[in-house]
Amino acid sequence: AQSVTQPDIHITVSEGASLELRCNYSYGATPYLFWYVQSPGQGLQLLLKYFSGDTLVQGIKGFEAEFKRSQSSFNLRKPSVHWSDAAEYFCAVGALGNKLVFGAGTILRVKS
Amino acid sequence: DAGVIQSPRHEVTEMGQEVTLRCKPISGHNSLFWYRQTMMRGLELLIYFNNNVPIDDSGMPEDRFSAKMPNASFSTLKIQPSEPRDSAVYFCANTLAGGDYNEQFFGPGTRLTVL
């Protein structure tokens, strides 16, 4: 069965610093991979997605993620974090029936 | 399109009362999902529909929970009777027919508080 692990529950970075959020997945075939962001009191918003092709995908708000099959990873990165990036981030893998299997989420705090 | 619409946005009720949460999906959707989010358990899939037909309700916690999708434009999640442990944020999400596989569009959620 598919599963997603986000090893970091909380991460704190300084504004302007770079960011990397880790995501590892378990899936037998080529996965469909997603990153969502949830701001406080809001629903989940899609940041980026990977289906095939170029393993480095660009998303909204300056985020990117790299698919590494050998490591079963899909880490999210941003070169310079802004205070408005403080939110919870969810990695997800596609499953049968249009379902998504979500990780537990990583809460990002940004220090000014 | 206004996106996924959920109502109410906030609901406060007393234990034992019936609660009905509503979702209007995106036009052209093919699958609809109901999730529950709590601090303790994170994001849980409760039930999902394909083309208005319930496919998997294994995530529904108990018989007090029920969901319907009478047509392509409307779905409800009902809790009867409600209990304090049902307090959570409930999300509705859709995929689009012909859209990218598994990409789900989320509504803003309904925050339920059962006293």
Average per-residue pLDDT in chain A? 94
> What's the confidence (pLDDT) of residue A30?
78
Contacts of B107 in chain A (CB under 8 A): 43
Cβ within 8 Å, pair A90-B103:
no
- Two structure tokens written together for B6: 């959920």
Q: Does residue B102 have a pLDDT over 90? A: no
Structure tokens at B42: 């994170």
CA torsion angle for B105, B26, B96, B50 (degrees, to 10)? Answer: 100
Calculate mean pLDDT across residues A52-72. 94
Write the residue in A32, A43, A49 that is nearest to B91 by C-beta. Answer: A43
C-alpha A47/C-alpha A60 separation (Å) is 5
User: Shortest CA distance to B11 belongs to which of B3, B24, B20?
Assistant: B20
How far away is chain B from the Cα of A29, in angstroms, using its nearest Cα?
14
Confidence at residue B99, expressed as pLDDT on a 0 to 100 scale: 67
Mean pLDDT score, B46-66: 93
Q: Which residues of A touch B50 (CB under 8 A)?
A: 97-98
The reported pLDDT for the residue numbered B108 is 95
A17 CA to chain B: closest CA distance, Å?
A: 28
Contact A108, A8 (CB under 8 A): no
Residue B50: other Cβ atoms inside 10 A: 15
**What mean pLDDT, rounded, does chain B reach?**
93
Mean pLDDT of A75-82: 98
